[in-house]
Amino acid sequence: MGKNPPENPVASIMEMHRAYHSRSLNVLVGAGTSIAAGFPDWMELCTQILAETAPRLAAGESPAAFATEIINELGREAAMDVARESLDESPFLRCLASALYRGRKMADLPVLRVHRQLASLACKAKLFTTNFDPLLELAF
């Protein structure tokens, strides 16, 4: 499918349908599918992790202000590198888990209808995800 909006949405749906049945459909799943389940988007995740690591890095600035400043100056990916490099692996992973799960246990995570619908495509489509959360995997 092209980069421009389809002139004929029905034709696009039919093209996706054919790709699905011929097992050539690839689906990329992003964070938007998990936001409604209480997971942060990428910007929120970066800000939370930086705010948790900021007391080790910032001199007198509020953690949230420091996190925003670092993200604005370096970009999200480089800012996450700063956070990652400022901590040993275990403390960084605890910050990541805290920002993602917000105190919830695996059994408490809400698998949404969209996760189940996406999982149901897996018999004929390839699913790829950029998500850190396990909701798609739980839907399987």
Span 45-85, pLDDT tens digits:
888 888 877 665 656 667 778 888 888 888 888 888 888 88
For residue 15 the two structure tokens come to 């093209």
69 occurs within a structural domain: yes
Average pLDDT (27-46) is 90
The region, left, alpha or beta by phi > 0 then psi within -120 to 50, assigned to residue 28 is beta
Residue 6 is given by DSSP the state P
Is 64 within a domain? yes
Residue 24: what pLDDT? 95
The total domain count for the chain is 1
Question: Within a domain: residue 65?
Answer: yes
| The pair of three-digit structure tokens given for residue 53, joined into one six-digit string | 């690591």
Which residue would you say has higher pLDDT here, 127 or 69?
A: 127
User: In terms of residues, how long is the chain?
Assistant: 140
Which range of 5-9, 25-29, 79-83, 128-132 scores highest in mean pLDDT? It is 25-29
Long-range contacts of 37-44 (CB under 8 A, 24+ apart): 37/109, 37/110, 37/111, 37/112, 37/115, 37/133, 37/135, 38/102, 38/104, 38/110, 39/100, 39/131, 39/133, 39/135, 40/99, 40/100, 42/76, 43/71, 43/76, 44/99
Assigned domain for 52 exists: yes
| Per-residue pLDDT tens digits for 94-113 | 888 998 998 999 999 999 99
Range of the domain at 59: 42-105
Q: Is residue 32 part of a domain?
A: no
Residue 129 lies in a domain: no
